[in-house]
A = this chain, B = another copy of it.
Amino acid sequence: MKLKKIDKLIKFDLPEANIVVKGWVRTKRNSKKFSFIEINDGSCLKNMQVIADESLSDYNEIKKITIGSSVAVYGNKIKSKGQGQKWEIQADRIDIFSIAHHSFPLQKKRHTDEFLRTIAHLRPRTNKYGAIFRIRSELSYAIHKFFKDKGFTYIHSPIITALDCEGAGDMFKVTTVDMEKPSLKEGSVEYSQNFFGKEAKLTVSGQLSAEMFAMALGEVYTFGPTFRAENSNTTRHVAEFWMVEPEIAFYDLTDTMCLAEEFIKYLTQYVISECFDDIELFAKFVDKKLIATLEKIISSDFIRIAYGDAVDILNSSETKFQYDISFGNDLQSEHERYLTEIHFKKPVIVYNYPKTVKPFYMRLNDDNKTVAAMDVLVPRIGEIIGGGQREERLEILLERMGEIGLSKEEYWWYVDSRKFGSTPHSGFGLGFERLIMLLTGVGNIRDVIPFPRTPNNIEF
């Protein structure tokens, strides 16, 4: 008897004798002389139909099997005479591991995403969420494969940090201080009692670490969790999410735009090639235009447009925006979506932003007003990638740090990298969850994360 996964059974297009399948019951119909049981084992979207006939010795027990129960089915894979599946298993024996209690919430009916969020521990047992988390896994692999094939080194940048990388963005504090009775000194917490001897926070980006490694290993990337303590309850924000951040020595802004475009196309191609069954589910039930969107991403050249020209387009549009836009203001989500969804109808890379809206480490352009930063905007999501060329010139970097009050003593090691073999270098960050939303059509970021963390929500 050989244990088989359902995806393999479906792929192998010949009958197979003496096999075992272990999984969970998705549906069951008892007729007079047979039970039809559909089993899912998580290996793929499809179930395997099992025929248990009354001749089975424990048929009375088998009749009691409920939806959600766990079983092992022993038998032969044969051509199905029924509709809807090519293969089925004629059971010789069914072992029941556990009969699911009748209160099992995933009975055969539609559930709202809102309800399923309240049972996030069970939702991967549905078709939709099983598919989402298989796709999430495949995309993670594709990210590693993309960079590995190019010779990049994967870096684990620190999660706990003393830095405030973006100079903005609320951060979570990490502490071992007794919060009931913190020892104060002149009204401030004495961080010497903390584990690290100073204030520690959860990282918002691995970029500065990655830059150090790019100066040694050339081409590196991070892929890990990042955090924002922003109290925003939108469909695109969570407190904990995964980010991919490549950083490459000797790359300029154009190289980086090329890499970003190639990366998104590669990942889109990858899910179509490797997860088509799962993707089809979303095309049917979540976003009818999904396949067209994905094809468009693969086949079109991304628009590249300077921030200033993008502002001109927005200002000459007839659309009434909630926020006015003029040179020097950051693009709002509505502006980003207008450019990519309405105006160009494909992905757009906006570059050369005003220095005032981008972090200090972006490379100053010769106009002294803009920096060599770029954002990749995609339909339905808006910004999916932010990046650019970094300031490699020591003097200018120090000036920019001074402007925003960053201490060069605290960032001594970052400054070091501009003293010792500084080179042009560039990189970007891609929000992994937004990528999954783009490629599946799922509209709420809470639904592409196993156990999402949002304000007032840390269940599971």
Binding site for B on A (CB under 8 A): 3, 5, 7, 22-25, 41-43, 68-70, 72, 97-98, 100-101, 103-104, 119-122, 124-125, 129-130, 133-134, 136-137, 140-141, 144, 148, 151, 153-162, 170, 172-177, 179-180, 182, 184, 187-189, 195-198, 200, 202, 209, 212-213, 215-219, 224-225, 227, 229, 231, 239-240, 242, 249-250, 392, 413-414, 416-424, 449-451, 453, 455-460
Contact of A195 among B153, B182, B239 (CB under 8 A): B239
Chain B residues contacting A157 (CB-CB under 8 Å) are 450-451
A140 lies within 8 A of B154 (CB): yes
B218 lies within 8 A of A43 (CB): yes
Once A121-B416, A141-B154, A212-B124 are accepted as A-B contacts, the answer to whether A227 and B160 lie under 8 Å apart by CB is yes
Contact of A101 among B98, B179, B420 (CB under 8 A): B420
Looking at A7, A69, A414, A420, the one whose CB has the most chain B CB atoms below 10 A away is A420
Chain B residues contacting A100 (CB-CB under 8 Å) are 419-421
What is the CB-to-nearest-CB distance from A246 to chain B, in angstroms, rounded to a whole number?
A: 13
A174 lies within 8 A of B174 (CB): yes
Chain B residues contacting A162 (CB-CB under 8 Å) are 458-459
What is the CB-to-nearest-CB distance from A178 to chain B, in angstroms, rounded to a whole number?
A: 10
What is the CB-to-nearest-CB distance from A415 to chain B, in angstroms, rounded to a whole number?
A: 10
A198–B457 alpha-carbon span in the complex (Å): 9
Total copies of the chain? 2
B104 lies within 8 A of A420 (CB): yes
A121–B419 alpha-carbon span in the complex (Å): 13
Chain B residues contacting A176 (CB-CB under 8 Å) are 170, 172-173, 229
A2–B183 alpha-carbon span in the complex (Å): 61
Chain B residues contacting A450 (CB-CB under 8 Å) are 155-158, 209, 213
Between A and B, 12 residue pairs with Cβ closer than 8 Å are: A5-B218, A41-B218, A70-B422, A97-B421, A97-B423, A100-B419, A133-B155, A141-B154, A157-B450, A160-B240, A173-B174, A209-B450
Once A101-B420, A170-B176, A179-B177 are accepted as A-B contacts, the answer to whether A158 and B240 lie under 8 Å apart by CB is yes
A424–B70 alpha-carbon span in the complex (Å): 10
What is the CB-to-nearest-CB distance from A99 to chain B, in angstroms, rounded to a whole number?
A: 9
B130 lies within 8 A of A216 (CB): yes
A97 lies within 8 A of B424 (CB): yes
A155 lies within 8 A of B137 (CB): yes
Chain B residues contacting A22 (CB-CB under 8 Å) are 249-250, 423
Chain B residues contacting A184 (CB-CB under 8 Å) are 180
What is the CB-to-nearest-CB distance from A248 to chain B, in angstroms, rounded to a whole number?
A: 11
A240–B159 alpha-carbon span in the complex (Å): 8
A165–B133 alpha-carbon span in the complex (Å): 23
What is the CB-to-nearest-CB distance from A211 to chain B, in angstroms, rounded to a whole number?
A: 9
B98 lies within 8 A of A215 (CB): no
Chain B residues contacting A98 (CB-CB under 8 Å) are 392, 418, 421-423
